[in-house]
Structure 1
Amino acid sequence: MLAYRSVDMGWGRLAYRSIEGGPGTEAAPPMVLVHGGGGDGTTWDALAPTFARHRSVHLPDLRGMGRSDRVGPYSLTVLRDDLLAFLDRLALDRVVLVGHSLGAAVALLAAERAPERVLALVLEECPPPVPLGIIVPTDLPDSAPHYDREVRPSVLAELNAPDPARWSALARLPVPTLVLAGGPGSHLPQEPMARMADSLPAGSLVTIPTGHHVHAQAPDAFVTAVESFLADPPTA
Structure 2
Amino acid sequence: MNQYDVDRPHVIQDGRRDAPPLVLVHGTGASSATWEPVADRLAAHHHVVRVDLPGCGQSPPARSYDVPAQAARLAALLDDLGLRQVTVAGHSSGGYVGTSLAEQRPDLVGSLALVSSGPSLDALLPVPLILRFLLGPPFGPIVWSRRSDAMIRKGIEATTAHPVDVPDDVIADLRGLSYRAFRTMSRRNTEYLAERSVPERLAVLDVPVLVVFGAADPRWEPTSARRYEAVPTARVEMLPGVGHLPMLEATGRTADLLLDFTARTRDRRA
TM-score normalized by structure 2?
0.74
Change (3 A) 1:46 1:94: same
2:177 equivalent to 1:147: yes
Which segments of 5 or more consecutive residues in structure 1 lack a partner in the other structure?
1-7
What is the alpha-carbon distance in structure 1 between the residues aligned to residue 264 and residue 81 of structure 2? 27
Give the whole-Å Cα distance in 2 for the aligned partners of 1:20 and 1:60. Answer: 15
Distance 2:222 2:119 in 1: 9
The answer on whether the counterparts of 1:74 and 1:150 sit within 8 Å (CA) in structure 2 is no
How far apart are residue 119 of structure 1 and its match? 1.4
Match in the other structure for 2:226: 194
Q: Counterparts of 2:259 and 2:40 in 1: how far apart (Å)?
A: 13
Q: What secondary structure is seen at the aligned counterpart in 2 of 1:96?
A: strand
Q: For residue 96 of structure 1, what is the amino acid of its counterpart?
A: T
Note if 1:229 corresponds to 2:267: no
Distance in structure 2 (CA, Å) of the matches to 1:127 and 1:68: 25
2:91 equivalent to 1:100: yes
User: Quick one: structure 1 residues 185 and 53, their matched pair in 2 at CA, closer, same or farther if it must change by over 3 Å?
Assistant: same
Deviations, residues 104-142 of structure 1 (Å, cap 9, x unaligned): 111111112222211111100012123437667233784
What is the root-mean-square deviation of aligned Cα atoms in Å?
Answer: 2.5
Task: Choose from 237, 245, 249 the match for 1:206.
Answer: 237
Separation in 1, partners of 2:53, 2:41: 22
Task: Answer whether contact 1:170 1:200 (CA < 8 A) is retained.
Answer: yes
Once residues 202 and 172 of structure 1 are traced to their aligned partners in structure 2, the CA distance between those partners, rounded to angstroms, is 10
Say if 2:21 is the partner of 1:30. yes
Amino acid at match of 1:148: S
Deviation at 1:157, TM superposition (A): 2.4
Partners of 1:17 and 1:40 lie apart in 2 by 11
Cα 1:149/1:72, change in 2 over 3 Å:
farther
Question: Greater CA deviation, 145-154 or 117-126?
Answer: 145-154
Contact 1:129 1:164 in 2 (8 A): no
Counterpart position of 2:6: 11
Aligned counterparts of 1:134 and 1:84: Cα–Cα separation in 2 = 33
Would you say the 8 A contact 2:68–2:97 is kept in 1? yes
Q: Which runs of 4+ in 1 moved over 4 A?
A: 133-136
**Contact 2:28–2:186 (8 Å) recurs in 1:** no
Q: Secondary structure at the match of 1:187?
A: coil
* Larger Rg belongs to: 2
Residues 71 and 45 (structure 1), Cα distance of their counterparts in 2 relative to 1, 3 Å cut: same
The TM-score with structure 1 as length reference comes to 0.84
Question: How far does residue 56 in structure 1 lie from its aligned partner after superposition?
Answer: 0.9
Q: Output the amino acid matched with 2:176.
A: H
Percent identical across equivalent pairs?
A: 26
State the distance in 2 between where 1:53 and 1:214 align. 20
